[in-house]
Amino acid sequence: MQYLVTGEFVDPGPLLPPDQLVGMMRQAILPSHDALTNLMSEGKVIAGGYGVGERTGAFILEVDSPEELDGLLGSLPNWGMVKFKVTLLEAVERGRERDRQFTEQLEQTLQR
């Protein structure tokens, strides 16, 4: 199963003092980059990256179940700092076949 996962960094509010910002970067942000890099090398993340000039990311993950996806996202160190949106992707071939069948059924209905 493939999922499109988009994420947007949740703004923490007023600017953090530099020492807290460094802590957040070291404890959550940089380890999350490493975790996503590892998932890419494992073949779980098959494509994706970060929005240029934005605090967003989009990735296509290939997993066996929604539970596995939930576990992967929940294990990211920045889990509490990112608002994720998950969309199950349908294979292009499956969508083509579904739309072909729909079109044929509609044509048959119109011919009656």
| Tens-digit pLDDT profile for residues 20-75 | 888 888 999 999 999 999 999 999 999 999 999 999 999 999 999 999 999 999 99
Nearest-5° Cα angle at 16, 56 to 28: 50
Residue 13 confidence (pLDDT): 67
Asked if CATH classification 1.10.10.10 holds for the domain at 2-111, the reply, yes or no, is no
Residue 15 confidence (pLDDT): 74
Beta strands in 1-112 (DSSP E): 2-9, 45-50, 56-62, 82-89
Interatomic CA distance for residues 80 and 24, integer angstroms: 11
Residue 77 confidence (pLDDT): 95
Interatomic CA distance for residues 29 and 81, integer angstroms: 9
Q: What is the pLDDT of residues 1-22, one digit of tens each?
A: 999 999 999 877 677 788 888 8
Residue labelled with tokens 């199963």: 1
Residue 106 confidence (pLDDT): 93
Residue 8 confidence (pLDDT): 95
Residue 1 confidence (pLDDT): 94
Q: Which residues contact 40 (CB under 8 A, 6 or more apart)?
A: 46
Q: Where are the domains of the chain?
A: 2-111
Interatomic CA distance for residues 5 and 63, integer angstroms: 12
Residue 11 confidence (pLDDT): 77
Using a 10 angstrom Cβ sphere, with 0-12 exposed, 13-18 middle and 19 or more buried, the burial of residue 89 is middle
